[in-house]
Amino acid sequence: MARESEARLGGDFEPFGATLRVHAVQISHIASVGEGVGLLLEPHDPKGWAWWGCFEADVEIARTPRFGTTWTELMRREDVGSWIDATGSEYLRILRAGRESYPDSLTESG
């Protein structure tokens, strides 16, 4: 799914000097661990990138108790794909509008 999403959406970010990356994430909770997917923009010129920390998001897909073997699905595959598409579209909207339109709420919510 990650490769498909990167191939489908990745070229849209080239004019902004970035590449879309979709990657696996592990989320640690006190009594459980989760696995999910992360989405971020990787700049072509890190020194000139003015958007550090602005385009990083992740979502938990499944969780299991620590030392457990039974996973609970938190999100269906189709919903993960929809989340990736929606998040990528929001990133593009913000980049097209420019830095001054960047909503502070994105950095506050993590």
pLDDT of residue 35: 92
Q: Is the pLDDT of residue 70 over 80?
A: yes
| Phi, psi at 95, each rounded to 5° | -60, -40
| Phi, psi at 59, each rounded to 5° | -140, 140
- If pLDDT is split at 50, 70 and 90, which confidence band does 107 have? very low
Q: Is the pLDDT of residue 21 over 60?
A: yes
pLDDT of residue 99: 59
Fill in the DSSP letter of residue 53.
T
- Identify the weakest region by mean pLDDT among 19-23, 56-60, 69-73, 95-99: 95-99
CA distances from 58 to 67, 70, 100 (A): 23, 22, 24
Residue 95 DSSP SS3: helix
Task: List the one residue out of 29, 19, 11 whose CA is nearest residue 67.
Answer: 29
- If pLDDT is split at 50, 70 and 90, which confidence band does 48 have? confident
Q: What is the largest CA-CA distance in the chain?
A: 47
- If pLDDT is split at 50, 70 and 90, which confidence band does 101 have? low
